[in-house]
Amino acid sequence: MKIAVIGAGWAGLSAAIYLQRSGHQPVVFEAARTLGGRARSVQSPPLNATIDNGQHILLGAYTETWALMRELQIPLESRLQRLRLSLQAADGSFRLKAALLPAPLHLLGGILVARGLSVTERVRLITLMQNLRDRGWVVPASATVGDWLRAGRQSDSVVRRFWRPLCLATLNTPIEQACAQLLANVLRDSLGGARGACDIMLPRVRLSELWPTRAAEKLDLRYGQAVRHLNRLSTHVEVEGERFDAALIATNAPSALRLLKHDAPSSAGDAYLTQLAALRYNPIVTVTLELERAWKPPAPMLMLYDYPEKCQFGQWLFDGSVAENPSKKIPGPGPTRTNPRIEGQRSMLTVVISDARSLEQHAQADIVAGILEQMREQIQGFPALPPVRGHATIIEKRATFAATPDLARPENATPWPRVWIAGDYTDTGYPAVLEGAVRSGKRAAELIAAYFS
């Protein structure tokens, strides 16, 4: 069957690969001239380099992502740096590192020797995690992360040092609004899994190079083709006037809504469109800094404590240097744009600010100045930060949907025959993360294959 896949993010590309594997003929339409969607490489004029649109952390628990990379014969070790879970504050006041023990003792051991926790805080943290495990990783319905932490008697200090950064990094939603069950699902699969499931995997290459470029080599991919018309007929669908047996909409939710709302009204259809329209979004801001001299942070990933009143917004600091072939072309058609300098020799840092709504009223220059001040204040006992040669700020306004409780998320199957959807916002049981996008794409491909079998 000839299937139109609309969108070349992680969901659309994963669906296309699985559709192809099951004998179908996917044709991928991508509005942008690069692939990867919200996890993509971009050319940064201020830095004159290829950078990512945002730092992405992957987890050992991203089983479908690793299966897809294996399917594409990509060796994980060459593309990702695997780190034992370690949540470490830049100022040295807090550190929780998974112990080298079999699960679940790795977490218990980590909490017992963690830096920056009182005895009571350790006991309450262990009790909260043990209760969660005993209850099958199910939390009270409609609870926010804030409700759940209060019920678990977590101190303000533990919330500030541990839970808040973890919740923002995972759900991109503040603890008082974030859905506790979605956080519990991620904890179940990472901390509750085998020891390696909570490992942190940081890309060694630019995001598009992780696997999307390899996928694109295998697919019929049409870049720069924004789909505006999807015409559903009883025997087929038409996408921009071209005939297909079915369509998979793997765009973001607002684009999916635009493509679907022209169909004839029905109660099931209206309910489905209402779910798409109800999603709200939170931004993520990523600041990439290029330093004058080589400088490695004390760990590949460090927590920063933010002080918005001082314009110090940084939450996480990453070593952003990746080795990249300078002659490598940015994936996509068009003229070859190459990196004039070898990035492996450039010293880059990235600073991430999740749920960045409050940054809107600040000038970018003030944000960068505040972050530099924050880093100088908080990175303790380490050679001073060299001067900054250049910086780039990327604001992803609709980075992820706001992961609030009781959110009705759409299924992959739509009420309309021959039309499916995929994306991180579908009902994956996960917040808006890469693994959710890959799972959603695979699930949609399975449903399409079953429909035509």
Q: Is 11 in the site for ligand FAD (CB under 6 A)?
A: yes
DSSP labels, 309-362: GGTB---EEEE------TTPPPSSSSS----SS-GGGSEEEEEEESSGGGGGGS
Handedness of CA 104, 106, 108, 111 (dihedral sign): negative
The yes or no reply on residue 262 touching ligand FAD (CB under 6 A) is no
Interacting residue with ligand FAD among 37, 174, 212, 331 (CB under 6 A): 37
The reply to whether 252 sits near ligand FAD by the rule CB under 6 A is: yes
128 vs 279, beta carbon nearer ligand FAD: 279
Chain centroid, CA 407 distance in Å = 19
Cβ atoms of residues 196 and 205 within 8 Å: no
CB of 237 to ligand FAD, least distance (A): 14
Q: Is 418 in the site for ligand FAD (CB under 6 A)?
A: no
* 255 lines the binding site for ligand FAD (CB under 6 A): yes
Strand 246-249 versus strand 49-52 pairing type: unpaired
In the complex, least distance from residue 383 CB atom to ligand FAD, rounded to whole angstroms: 28
Q: Is 9 in the site for ligand FAD (CB under 6 A)?
A: yes
Q: Is 271 in the site for ligand FAD (CB under 6 A)?
A: no
Q: Which is nearer to ligand FAD, 99 or 401 (CB)?
A: 401
Return d(Cα 39, Cα 399) in angstroms, integer.
Answer: 10
Among 125, 159, 434, 444, binds ligand FAD (CB under 6 A): 434
Nearer to ligand FAD, 16 or 96 (CB): 16
Contact between 29 and ligand FAD per CB under 6 A = yes
Write down the least CB distance from residue 400 to ligand FAD, Å: 5
Residue 289 lies near ligand FAD (rule: CB under 6 A): no
How many angstroms separate the CA atoms of 21 and 447, rounded?
Answer: 14
Bridge partners (DSSP) of residue 285 are: 353, 395
Residues between 39 and 98 that touch ligand FAD (CB under 6 A): 39, 53-54, 56-58
Q: How far is CA 417 from CA 8, 233, 237, 376, 448, in A?
A: 22, 9, 10, 57, 10
- Cα distance from N-terminal residue to C-terminal residue, the chain: 10
Is 22 exposed, middle or buried (CB count within 10 Å of its CB: 0-12, 13-18, 19+)?
Answer: middle
Round to whole Å and give the CA distance between 451 and 345: 51
Residue 187 engages ligand FAD in binding (rule: CB under 6 A): no
Applying CB under 6 A, the residues found at the interface with ligand FAD are: 6-12, 29-32, 37-39, 53-54, 56-58, 226-227, 250-252, 255, 284, 286, 396, 399-400, 423-424, 432-434, 437
